[in-house]
Amino acid sequence: MAFKSPSIAAHHLERLRDLGLVTQIDGSGYVLVGEIKLGVLRHFVRLGRILVPRFVFYASFATMLTLLYNLFLSKSSDLLASSFVMIIGVFSSAAFWYEAYRFWRLKPY
């Protein structure tokens, strides 16, 4: 892979091992754990040792905005506007949570 030093290759192999994508056999080499879908990794964020779908952050944001609107601002608006905002908030939150769940099931390992 044209690394400048063996230590860089060892570092990357250790990171792959920490993610559970490869396993070390008898201290002499590394083997893939199973089929890995690398294209899917762009939809994940690494938090410590776990991979979290990016949609979890969008879903959390949309859900919190909907809840905050419901708690603080919905009482001061008219009923039609308040209902419209709540419907948009609920449907967008549900769509983001669905996508987060769908990508969670596609985890590469």
Instruction: List the pLDDT tens digit at each of the 109 positions of the chain.
Output: 677 788 888 888 888 888 777 888 887 788 887 766 667 677 888 888 788 888 999 999 999 999 998 888 767 667 777 888 889 999 999 999 999 999 888 776 5
Same structural domain for residues 48 and 30? Answer: no
Same structural domain for residues 6 and 19? Answer: yes
Range of the domain at 64: 41-109
Whether 16 and 32 have beta carbons less than 8 Å apart is answered as no
Whole-number pLDDT of residue 99: 92
Same structural domain for residues 75 and 105? Answer: yes
Same structural domain for residues 84 and 52? Answer: yes
Per the structure, how many domains does the chain have? 2
Same structural domain for residues 25 and 49? Answer: no
Q: Hey, is 27 helix, strand or coil?
A: coil
Same structural domain for residues 82 and 30? Answer: no
> CA 23, CA 77: separation in Å to the nearest integer?
58
Same structural domain for residues 48 and 87? Answer: yes
Q: Model-level pTM?
A: 0.59
Q: What are the two backbone dihedrals, phi and then psi, of residue 31, each rounded to the nearest 5 degrees?
A: -135, 140
Same structural domain for residues 65 and 31? Answer: no
Same structural domain for residues 9 and 56? Answer: no
Same structural domain for residues 10 and 53? Answer: no
Same structural domain for residues 74 and 94? Answer: yes
Tokens of 106: 């596609």
